[in-house]
Amino acid sequence: MVELDHPITTDKPVEDRFKLVLDLERLVPCVQGGKVLEKTGDESVKAEIRVKMGAMSMKFIGTVSVVEQDAGAHTAKLQVKSREAGGSGHANADVTFALADGGGSIHTAAQITGKAASMGEGMVSTVLDAMIKDFTQKFGAAE
């Protein structure tokens, strides 16, 4: 299990950022290599993400769902469940957003298995950390 915390900085109103968190068709493409394949419910989508770890490139396909939300507190928890395309590994995560005026924070608890995990926890943490930092910049700036 890899757990990471990242700050979010934005000049956008907190209500707009909260709507973005809940709009998975707009949120998922903020993740580098992420795209929505289809909407599967009011609060879930089927998505894919392409991840590069060192010389390896992998594709994960799965679901992203909003499992908890509190509009008053501007908090939401998303759950990611994915499998490695053509492999036996998976990448699952609980991503908790706590938003406030000027930004907020993201807490990620990820569980990775298969080829990605074989690269070692240090490599997994480094790649995940870079992906989330990139995401927070895109998230903060997204229209």
Per-residue pLDDT, 139 = 95
Q: Place 37 in a pLDDT band, splitting at 50, 70 and 90.
A: very high
CATH architecture of 2-141: 2-Layer Sandwich (3.30)
Instruction: Give dist(CA 38, CA 47) in Å, integer.
Output: 7
CA distance 78 to 96: 6
pLDDT tens digits for range 71-98: 999 999 999 999 999 989 999 999 999 9
pLDDT at site 21: 97
- The model's pLDDT over 38-50, given as tens digits with 9 standing for 90+, comes to 999 999 999 999 9
The pTM of the full predicted model, rounded to 2 decimals, is 0.94
For the chain, what are the domain ranges?
A: 2-141
Going by pLDDT thresholds of 50, 70 and 90, the confidence category of residue 132 is: very high
Is-contact 34 45, C-beta < 8 A? Answer: no
